[in-house]
Amino acid sequence: MQEQIRHVASRIRELREISKVSTAQMARELQMPEDEYLRCEAGQVDLPVGMLLRVAQRFQVELTSLLTGEEPRLHTFAVTRAGLGVSVDRGSDYKYQSLAYNFIHKRAEPFLVTVDPGPGHANMHPGQEFHYVLEGTLQVTLGRREVVLEAGDSLYFDSNVPHCLTALHDRPARLLAVVV
């Protein structure tokens, strides 16, 4: 995973430099201290998926390009077979699998997400999200509110609100997450 983080960081740095955007400006746009952004760009700290989506939008590239270095190619449809989505390990608490990584000009980013038990990390980014719980019990903290979801439950929310996912009952939770 550390190697993937370094590759993603390198692609972000390259896009920023080509676009002549300063590290201070990127940190402001991502709403983080510049020293933290510099650690992310150096591959020492991982950016959450929401932040990667913001970077992709900022530089008008596909998220797949940041994650894999490859451009999506499919225009009409894309099939992702079970277990074969692009793995997007974003730290120890969430594991993402991109389900439409090879479809170009997506209007939404669908992910299969596994949330391991233990405390999660808060995240916020422009847009909206839809979560559909496939298995386990998931606590979603939205700002100061908490919502507990069981398998079959769904939630749609404004992802500008700080949000955090926590698997309950010492078991992982799996969900379909669509980021718009």
**Domain pair 2-68 / 86-179, same fold:** no
Residue 91: per-residue pLDDT: 56
pTM of the model: 0.77
Residue 53: per-residue pLDDT: 85
Calculate what percentage of the chain has a pLDDT beyond 90: 53
Cα–Cα distance for residue pair 105/15, rounded to 1 Å: 18
Residue type, 46: D
| Overall fold of domain 2-68 | 434 Repressor (Amino-terminal Domain) (1.10.260)
CB neighbour burial string for 74-109, b if at least 16 within 10 angstroms, e if fewer: eeeeeebeeeebbebebeebbbbbbbbbbbeebeeb
- pLDDT tens, residue by residue, 50-83: 788 889 889 989 888 888 888 888 888 889 888 8
Residue 92: per-residue pLDDT: 57
| Overall fold of domain 86-179 | Jelly Rolls (2.60.120)
- pLDDT tens, residue by residue, 96-144: 888 998 898 888 999 999 999 988 888 888 889 999 999 999 999 999 9
Domain ranges of the chain: 2-68, 86-179
The 3 state secondary structure assigned to 114-148 is EECECCCCCECCCCEEEEEEEECCEEEEECCEEEE
- pLDDT tens, residue by residue, 14-48: 999 999 999 999 999 988 899 989 998 998 887 77
